Structure 1
Amino acid sequence: MFRALRQRFEAWVTRGQRPARQPVRLDRRRIYILPTRQGYAFALLLLLLFLWSINYSNSMGFAFTFLLSAVALNSMWRAHNNLLDLVIQPSGAEPVFAGQDAQFGYRLDNPDTGPRHGVALQWRDRSPRYADVPARGSTTVILAVPAERRGRLRPGRLRVLTRFPLGLLQAWSWVEFEQDCLVYPQPRGGRSLPAAMAGGTGSGMGEQGTGSEDYAGFRPYSPGDSPRRIAWRAAARTDRLLVKRFTDQARPELWLDWRLLGMEPIEPRLEQLCQWVLKAEGEGCEYGLRLPGREIPPASGEIQRRRCLEALALFVGGDG
């Protein structure tokens, strides 16, 4: 019940907020403060002390009660100011595979001359990640967000909170950014790499030859091609980078083809293709990827790996 009430209150408070593109500065209108469990217990203790002092007309009891009340009020002021004017800025998140945790980074900037202690970021009901922000400095907090499905993952709304200095009160705010992380399919499957085929429409595994044999025309440039193979004169006429092809260098091409997986469901196909991409890259092969509506020419290297994995992550469609 308490969680449901908290979620309704959060939705009501943040109903006008939109995901931000720029860093967010926490002003007074965005900061809220309430007692913690320890704070409520402390308030009950003050009430009992006050009633005891009235009952026995004890001046020392009154003095002690008012002193503790002043400490609580000062704690409220310090907790609020610990977040006031704090600047939160998101940073990029590296792609992950489905089933892993995406690591979202956030930089906390402190424009004041005093340090900020015990500032935390929290995603949903996970444990807060605390950090201290130096005076006129910054620090970075990393939040782990589960990546359950392929595609683009958005962390959504985050809670910025502090219980500094005594833990009696919690000041908090909410922030949300236009930030996402690319999630690749989970690499799994029981099939081995398909056999390479001679010829084809891609760049081929052997088109990095010397160019001293039978000339076979041009093909579009693909990332990873050697600059020495680029036909600069032809590129100047067509405004496109073209690469020379030679028939004597045409070795078998490795194509990771969607159609090779028959009638399997979409997600198992993508997972098997993902495993093939990683295996082909690990073995140093030049490989291409064929999906319905898209074809990535054969190449190798980190750029090719990222292109293929991104195509698998963002694939939308059915058989083709």
Structure 2
Amino acid sequence: MWPFRERLRRWWWSRLPLEDVCELSQRRIYLLPTRFGLLLIAAALAVWLGALNYQVSLAYALAFWIAGLQLVAVLMAYRQLAGLRVSAEGGAAVFAGEDARFFLRLENPSPAGRRVRVSTAGGERVEGALEAVGEARLALALTAARRGWLPLPACVLESDAPFGLVRAWAVLRLRARVLVYPAPLPDTARGRRDAEPGRGGGERGGDEDFSHLDLYRIGDAPRQIAWKVLARRDALASKRFSAEAGEGLLRLGWDDYGGETDAERRLSRLVWRVEQCERRHLRYRLCLPDGEIGPQPRQRELALGALALFGSRK
């Protein structure tokens, strides 16, 4: 029964359309009593049956009061979700095995505050309170199992406030994703010098030969800071030279692992070597079968992104 129910739920959720922004209306909100609500309904039925048998007016009043409370709880729970506008965005890229973060933005147009919960199929659950005519930003953390794009799975937005008798819920499929890099795998082998004629990688042009501008990194020397750029744009940038720290251009190539049959291990080793080059401020060129990425602004993000999406269409 339970495996069938889980498959049915996944099939239903997979058929929901992807949305950039979802506004919850009456057709999107479902209402069901909670366990406590079911217990209270059973108690009201028991009291009503007792009132029928013994003709006790006070018991009638108690039974109808409980029924009225249940009806009010239905309206109050529905009001917690009705009219909410929900959107999502992905967080920063992560490595496989780490937690990817998604951010849900909830806008409350109502003059009354609300309390909601957001949960996913993986069991992640966060709660938040929305002020009147305000908004809230909730963060969801999901474990990234493999490299590539990790889409935000279907989420359940729910609330049983204020009495806990009725649960209002809605299923959302929002368009958001996080890029997952391959997990680094330590590799002591170094990339060989790119000194082939015409490629311009292995020649030592001197430490003072300017190459390009890049984002400022903690630890860059003051002489590397582009002061004119800082004065003009109010943003820190660093100068990169053709041979930094006495090193030439390293070639990190796919063919460095000709004996490795597992493509994922190749990618993980290349990720580790890219990170080592970035930490040591070494210039490098990443060579893959579908292209090369040489020294340029945001080279780390471009190189790791190429490794994450290697072999995929997008």
Match for 1:254 among 234, 238, 250?
Answer: 250
Query: In 2, are the aligned partners of 1:202 and 1:297 still within 8 Å (CA)?
Result: no
Q: Name the residue aligned to 1:78.
A: 76
Write the distance in 2 (CA, Å) between the matches of 1:45 and 1:71: 13
1:308 aligns with 2:298: no
Deviation at 1:222, TM superposition (A): 6.4
Match for 1:287 among 281, 284, 287?
Answer: 284
Match for 1:31 among 29, 44, 54?
Answer: 29
Change (3 A) 1:178 1:246: closer
Structure 1 counterpart SS, 2:90: coil
Query: In 2, are the aligned partners of 1:189 and 1:268 still within 8 Å (CA)?
Result: no
Q: Name the residue aligned to 1:155.
A: 152
1:166 aligns with 2:156: no
Q: Which structure 2 residues correspond to residues 197-236 of structure 1 after superposition, within 5 A?
A: 197-198=194-195, 201-202=199-200, 210=208, 224=214
Deviation at 1:55, TM superposition (A): 1.8
Write the distance in 1 (CA, Å) between the matches of 2:57 and 2:190: 86
Work out the number of aligned pairs and report it: 287
Please, what is the CA RMSD of the aligned residues? 3.0
* TM-score, normalization by structure 2: 0.82
Change (3 A) 1:308 1:173: same
Deviation at 1:45, TM superposition (A): 1.2
Write the distance in 2 (CA, Å) between the matches of 1:51 and 1:125: 43
* TM-score, normalization by structure 1: 0.80
Structure 1 counterpart SS, 2:152: coil
1:270 aligns with 2:270: no
Deviation at 1:179, TM superposition (A): 1.4
Structure 2 counterpart of 1:187, which letter? P
Write the distance in 1 (CA, Å) between the matches of 2:186 and 2:242: 36
Q: Which structure 2 residues correspond to residues 31-110 of structure 1 after superposition, within 5 A?
A: 31-110=29-108
Query: In 1, are the aligned partners of 2:191 and 2:251 still within 8 Å (CA)?
Result: yes
Q: Name the residue aligned to 1:241.
A: none
Change (3 A) 1:280 1:110: same
Any gaps of 5 or more consecutive residues in structure 1?
213-220, 229-244
Write the distance in 2 (CA, Å) between the matches of 1:314 and 1:189: 20
Write the distance in 2 (CA, Å) between the matches of 1:188 and 1:13: 36
1:296 aligns with 2:286: no
Write the distance in 1 (CA, Å) between the matches of 2:108 and 2:225: 47
Write the distance in 2 (CA, Å) between the matches of 1:183 and 1:202: 32
Deviation at 1:189, TM superposition (A): 3.1
Q: Name the residue aligned to 2:125.
A: 128
Deviations 1:129-162 (A, max 9, x none): 1100111110111111221110011122111111
Write the distance in 2 (CA, Å) between the matches of 1:44 and 1:3: 29
Moved more, 3-12 or 266-275: 3-12
Query: In 2, are the aligned partners of 1:197 and 1:254 still within 8 Å (CA)?
Result: yes
Structure 1 counterpart SS, 2:214: coil
Change (3 A) 1:13 1:48: farther
Structure 2 counterpart of 1:269, which letter? R
Query: In 2, are the aligned partners of 1:191 and 1:272 still within 8 Å (CA)?
Result: no
Moved more, 64-73 or 192-201: 192-201
Deviation at 1:67, TM superposition (A): 1.0
Deviations 1:267-311 (A, max 9, x none): 000000001111111111111101112111135x7x111111001
Write the distance in 2 (CA, Å) between the matches of 1:208 and 1:92: 42
Deviations 1:5-30 (A, max 9, x none): 36526745874x31013x11000000
Structure 1 counterpart of 2:252, which letter? L
Query: In 1, are the aligned partners of 2:47 and 2:63 still within 8 Å (CA)?
Result: yes
Give aligned-pair identity as a percent: 30
Query: In 2, are the aligned partners of 1:205 and 1:252 still within 8 Å (CA)?
Result: yes
Query: In 2, are the aligned partners of 1:202 and 1:288 still within 8 Å (CA)?
Result: no
1:178 aligns with 2:178: no
Deviations 1:148-198 (A, max 9, x none): 110011122111111111211111111112211100000013434335454
Deviation at 1:33, TM superposition (A): 0.6
Deviations 1:235-291 (A, max 9, x none): xxxxxxxxxx999xx962111111111221100000000011111111111111011
Moved more, 105-114 or 156-165: 156-165
Any gaps of 5 or more consecutive residues in structure 2?
216-223, 227-240
